[in-house]
A and B are shown apart, each in its own frame.
Chain A
Amino acid sequence: MTSPPVCSTSIRLEDIDKRYGGLYALRRVSLEVAAGECIVLAGRNGSGKTTLLRIAARLVRPSSGKVSFSNVGSEQGGAKHISFVAHATMVYDDLTAEENLLLFARLLGIAQAMQRVEALLREVGLFDRRNSLVRTFSRGMRQRVAIARALLRAPGILLLDEPATGLDPQGAGWLADTLRRMRDAGCTIVMSLHGESEISALATRAIRLDAGAIVADTRSGADLRSILAFADA
Chain B
Amino acid sequence: MSLFANTTVLLGKELRTEFRSRELLTTTIVFILIVLVLFSFTFDPLSDEARRFGAGLLWLAFLFAASLMLQPCFLREQPNDTLSALRLSVADPFAIFLAKLAANTLFLLLTELLLLPIFAVMYNVQVLPVLHWIVLVFFLGSLGVSIAGTALSAISAQARMRELLLPLLLLPLLTPILIASTEVTSALLDRSPYVPWKGVGFLVAFDVVFLTALWLFGEYLLEE
Chains A, B in direct contact (C-beta < 8 Å): yes
Tell me the interface secondary structure of chain A in the complex. loop
- Tell me the minimal C-beta distance from B76 to chain A in angstroms: 9
Q: How far is the CA of A92 from the CA of B88 in the complex (A)?
A: 15
Report chain A residues within 8 Å CB of B20. 94
**Interface-central residue, B6, B9, B87, by most chain A CB under 10 Å:** B9
Q: How far is the CA of A143 from the CA of B89 in the complex (A)?
A: 18
Cβ-based interface call for A129 (8 A): no
Given A91-B85, A92-B17, answer yes or no on A107-B80 (Cβ-Cβ < 8 Å): no
Tell me the interface secondary structure of chain B in the complex. helix
Cβ-based interface call for B1 (8 A): yes
Could you tell me if A95 and B17 are in contact, using CB atoms closer than 8 angstroms? Answer: yes
Q: How far is the CA of A93 from the CA of B5 in the complex (A)?
A: 23
Could you tell me if B224 and A103 are in contact, using CB atoms closer than 8 angstroms? Answer: no
- Chain B residue with the shortest CB-CB distance to A106: B9
Could you tell me if B224 and A92 are in contact, using CB atoms closer than 8 angstroms? Answer: no
Could you tell me if B82 and A91 are in contact, using CB atoms closer than 8 angstroms? Answer: yes
Interface residues of B in 158-174 (CB under 8 A from A): none
Given A90-B85, A107-B10, answer yes or no on A59-B80 (Cβ-Cβ < 8 Å): no
Interface size class of B (residues with CB under 8 A): 20 to 34
Contact of B16 among A58, A91, A99 (CB under 8 A): A99
- Tell me the minimal C-beta distance from B11 to chain A in angstroms: 11
Q: How far is the CA of A57 from the CA of B88 in the complex (A)?
A: 8
Query: Please, what's the 1-or-0 string for B110-129, where 1 marks a CB less than 8 Å from any CB in chain A?
Result: 00000000000000000000
Report chain A residues within 8 Å CB of B87. 59
Interface residues of A in 56-109 (CB under 8 A from B): 57-61, 82-84, 86, 88-95, 99, 103-104, 106-109
Report chain B residues within 8 Å CB of A88. 79-81, 84
Cβ-based interface call for B22 (8 A): no
Report chain A residues within 8 Å CB of B9. 103, 106-107
- Tell me the minimal C-beta distance from B80 to chain A in angstroms: 5
Q: How far is the CA of A57 from the CA of B36 in the complex (A)?
A: 49
Contact of B84 among A84, A103, A107 (CB under 8 A): A84
Cβ-based interface call for A54 (8 A): yes
Report chain B residues within 8 Å CB of A82. 88
**Interface-central residue, B21, B86, B89, by most chain A CB under 10 Å:** B89
Cβ-based interface call for A49 (8 A): no
Given A95-B13, A103-B9, answer yes or no on A108-B80 (Cβ-Cβ < 8 Å): no
Report chain B residues within 8 Å CB of A104. 85, 89
- Chain B residue with the shortest CB-CB distance to A88: B81
Q: How far is the CA of A93 from the CA of B13 in the complex (A)?
A: 12
Cβ-based interface call for B15 (8 A): no
Cβ-based interface call for B48 (8 A): no
Contact of B224 among A54, A90, A106 (CB under 8 A): A54
- Tell me the minimal C-beta distance from B92 to chain A in angstroms: 11
Q: Which 4 A-B pairs have the closest CB atoms?
A: A88-B81, A109-B1, A90-B85, A107-B89
Question: Given A88-B80, A93-B80, list of 18 further CB < 8 A pairs?
Answer: A54-B224, A58-B88, A60-B224, A61-B223, A82-B88, A83-B88, A86-B84, A88-B81, A88-B84, A89-B80, A91-B82, A94-B21, A99-B16, A104-B89, A106-B1, A107-B6, A108-B1, A109-B1
Give the A-binding residues of B (Cβ under 8 A): 1, 5-6, 9-10, 13, 16-17, 20-21, 79-82, 84-90, 223-224
A/B interface sample: 7 pairs, CB < 8 A: A54-B224, A88-B80, A88-B84, A92-B13, A92-B17, A107-B6, A109-B5
